[in-house]
């Protein structure tokens, strides 16, 4: 009998990841009659929602839009409890989807794909798992998320720490009990801002190690009323069309006016109203918050004034005051974030002024001194956009490795953010240079999945063996993405969008900023024209 290592599993399509992307991709390809298998490193479905179990983890898109819209029946069967869904509820939802569509038999859990290599002789992808299992498939599809590779900064001495430490994106399944503990948290992005108020309520003392102060706006979460639930379900068809044609997968668009066209009084009224509604309303209140420095400064200054009003200690308030362009890092929404600094058991350490020098057996030493801790929480984010793609050894035609083709991130080139020249029959769901992370992910994921499955259907119906992006189409798309990004303020701020959060990573902005609606139109046009910009053989 052949050993596991000698056997080759032969499939039509391999999908990596069992989050929002992989589950729907599997559903569509199976419906189309393809022998498909999803490989997932985790022990269950959920993707980021499987791993991100940290206290306070919740989504920042409204729940009635942060779900699949491909099935009206599914939409109507599931009921969200509050405006911003908590991680356990989203994970229950994805398990519900997996059960409803009987997806699990075609998902192989606890299996990490380490290598995927294109064979030009057979026109097939040869894949290898961490434990040596070999797979052969015609189509290779990544559904690995844009922010799923944890960034744990290489602080000297971490291994010497005598307490416990966790990264928010790899949280244990069991509850971590902070009662009576001195806790330190590094990082104040979306994860840190959500975890800090919750940990502060439980810990004996919480020390926040902050490198960059952040803008954050109250989420104003609340439980949905029965009436709201009924209304959402009744408007399914309308909602589906609106979010799919929208700028960011949500029923919002930028205001029609410039901030600069309003009088200071009118402006104050508009901004106060947006602040009261909460969430990301401020970002969309005017048309030019993200494109005009002066307009942005007015909105940024408004949020800074709110921080000053909220935080009682003036020195702490000052330390918490950001000075980048609001919205150019992923906008954060919170529940009692700034209020938490008024608690007597919370203190703030500015590690830009006095950087972390090392982790000691007893805690964290900055340039200012040592902080004794029982637990350290790393809310230090992710190697975004390319981290998970580069973790795998993806080898295309002529033995070219994806990481080398993209010069380790310095020269990312894709066509539509879904494919890249030299890697035939490979598709990336929400890859670099797609609009993905600038909006409500499930909506952009659905569009990618549908485009990819329609494309594969087309290839099969027309007896086409391979599809590959043409070099000129790829160059034009990448140039278009860069030119659009340069019309905004995004590129002026260090963030995980630009890769500046990762030591030695080359700075860029591999995201299409033109909005979901226009992007969807472009993809549809390419398909209607017989996959214009691709070589079909
Ligand atoms: O990560 P981040 P995140 N020394 O990169 C700091 C999504 N998400 O996990 O800003 C000291 O935003 C870093 O400092 P700086 C969402 O898209 C969504 O919070 O680089 N500090 C920053 O403060 C989000 O944007 C939800 O100077 C260091 C923090 O760590 C994305 O995931 C919830 C450091 C990292 O912030 C990532 O969010 C959670 C160092 N060496 C996440 N290295 C919701 O839906 C990094 N930092 C609500």
**C-beta of 59 in contact with ligand 1 (< 6 A):** yes
- Give the strand pairing for 216-218 and 164-167: unpaired
Return the DSSP state at 507.
Answer: P
Ligand 1 center–CA 442 separation, angstroms: 21
* Ligand 1 atom 25, closest CA: 330
Q: Is 19 in the pocket of ligand 1 (CB under 6 A)?
A: no
pLDDT of residue 3: 61
Interval between CA 49 and ligand 1 midpoint (Å): 16
Q: CA neighbours within 13 Å on the CB side: how many for 372?
A: 2
Taking a C-beta distance cutoff of 8 angstroms, is the pair 249, 443 a contact?
yes
Residue whose CB lies within 8 A of the most ligand 1 atoms, among 58, 211, 493, for a mutation test: 211
- What was the ipTM of the complex prediction? 0.99
Per-residue pLDDT of the chain (537 residues; tens, 9 = 90+): 556 557 999 999 999 999 999 999 999 999 999 999 999 999 999 999 999 999 999 999 999 999 999 999 999 999 999 999 999 999 999 999 999 999 999 999 999 999 999 999 999 999 999 999 999 999 999 999 999 999 999 999 999 999 999 999 999 999 999 999 999 999 999 999 999 999 999 999 999 999 999 999 999 999 999 999 999 999 999 999 999 999 999 999 899 999 999 999 999 999 999 999 999 999 999 999 999 999 999 999 999 999 999 999 999 999 999 999 999 999 999 999 999 999 999 999 999 999 999 999 999 999 999 999 999 999 999 999 999 999 999 999 999 999 999 998 999 999 999 999 999 999 999 999 999 999 999 999 999 999 999 999 999 999 999 999 999 999 999 999 999 999 999 999 999 999 999 988 999 999 999 999 999 999 999 999 999 999 999
Q: Is the CB of 100 under 6 A from ligand 1?
A: no
- The response to whether residue 511 sits with its C-beta less than 6 Å from ligand 1 reads no
Kindly report the protein residue whose alpha carbon is nearest to atom 9 of ligand 1: 381
Cα distances from 353 to residues 212, 337, 412, 493, in angstroms, run 10, 22, 34, 19
Question: Whose CA is closest to atom 20 on ligand 1?
Answer: 501
In the block, which residue shows the tokens 């291994």? Answer: 159
Neighbours of 114 (CB within 10 A): 13
C-alpha 440/C-alpha 248 separation (Å) is 6
Å from CA of 496 to ligand 1 middle = 8
Residue of 91, 376, 501 to test ligand 1 pocket, by largest number of atoms within 8 Å of CB: 501
State if residue 324 touches ligand 1 by the CB under 6 angstroms criterion.
Answer: no
- 124-129 and 113-119 as β-strands: parallel, antiparallel, unpaired? antiparallel
CA distance 348 to 346: 7
Cα(191) to ligand 1 centroid in Å equals 6
Q: For atom 6 of ligand 1, which residue has the closest CA?
A: 187
Question: Are the C-beta atoms of 435 and 448 separated by less than 8 Å?
Answer: no
- Residue 244 Cβ contacting ligand 1 at under 6 Å: no
Do the bridges between strand 124-129 and strand 134-142 make them parallel or antiparallel, or are there none, so unpaired?
antiparallel
Q: How far is the CA of 332 from the centre of ligand 1 (A)?
A: 10
């Amino acid at each position: 009998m052949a050993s596991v290592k000698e056997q080759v599993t032969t499939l039509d399509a391999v999908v990596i990841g069992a989050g929002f992307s992989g589950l729907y991709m599997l559903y569509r390809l199976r419906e189309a009659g393809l022998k498909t298998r999803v490989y997932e490193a985790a022990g269950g479905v959920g993707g980021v929602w499987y791993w991100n179990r940290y206290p306070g983890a919740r989504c920042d898109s409204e729940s009635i839009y942060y779900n699949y819209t491909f099935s009206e029946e599914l939409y109507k069967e599931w009921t969200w409890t509050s405006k911003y869904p908590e991680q356990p509820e989203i994970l229950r939802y994805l398990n519900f989807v997996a059960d409803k569509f009987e997806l699990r038999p075609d998902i192989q859990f606890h299996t990490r794909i380490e290598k995927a290599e294109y064979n030009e002789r057979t026109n097939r992808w040869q894949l290898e798992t961490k434990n040596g299992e070999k797979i052969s498939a015609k189509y290779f599809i990544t559904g690995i998320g844009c922010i799923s590779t944890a960034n744990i900064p290489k602080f000297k001495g971490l291994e010497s720490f005598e307490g416990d430490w966790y990264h928010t994106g790899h949280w244990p399944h069991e509850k971590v009990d902070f009662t009576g503990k001195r806790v330190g948290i590094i990082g104040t992005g979306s994860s840190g801002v959500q975890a800090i108020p919750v940990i502060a309520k439980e810990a004996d003392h919480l020390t926040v190690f902050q490198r960059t102060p952040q803008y954050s706006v109250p989420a104003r979460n609340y439980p949905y009323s029965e009436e709201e639930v009924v209304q959402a379900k009744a408007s399914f068809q309308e909602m589906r069309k609106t979010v799919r044609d929208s700028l960011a997968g949500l029923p919002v668009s930028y205001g029609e006016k410039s901030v600069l066209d309003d009088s200071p009084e009118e402006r104050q009224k508009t901004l106060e109203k947006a602040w009261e509604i909460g969430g990301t309303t401020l970002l969309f209140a005017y048309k030019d918050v993200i494109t005009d420095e002066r307009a942005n400064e007015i909105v940024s200054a408004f949020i800074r004034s709110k921080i000053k009003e909220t935080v009682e200690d003036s020195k702490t308030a000052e330390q918490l005051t950001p000075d980048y362009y609001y919205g150019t890092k992923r906008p954060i929404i919170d529940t009692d974030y700034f209020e938490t600094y008024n608690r007597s058991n919370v203190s703030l350490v500015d590690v830009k002024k006095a950087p972390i020098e090392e982790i000691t057996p007893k805690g964290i030493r900055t340039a200012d001194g040592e902080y004794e801790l029982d637990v350290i929480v790393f809310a230090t984010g992710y190697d975004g956009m390319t981290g998970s793609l580069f973790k795998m050894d993806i080898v295309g035609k002529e033995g070219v490795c994806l990481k080398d083709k993209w010069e380790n991130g310095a020269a990312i080139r894709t066509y539509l953010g879904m494919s890249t020249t030299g890697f035939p029959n490979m598709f990336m769901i929400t890859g670099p240079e797609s609009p993905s992370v600038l909006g409500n992910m499930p909506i952009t994921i659905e569009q990618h999945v549908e485009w990819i499955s329609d494309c594969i259907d087309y290839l099969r119906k027309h007896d086409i063996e391979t599809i590959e992006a043409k070099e000129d189409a790829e160059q034009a798309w990448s140039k278009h993405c860069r030119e659009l990004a340069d019309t905004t303020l995004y590129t002026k701020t260090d963030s995980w969008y630009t890769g500046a959060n990762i030591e030695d990573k080359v700075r860029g902005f591999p995201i299409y900023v033109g909005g979901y609606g226009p992007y969807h139109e472009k993809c549809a046009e390419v398909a209607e024209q017989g996959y214009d910009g691709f070589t079909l053989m």
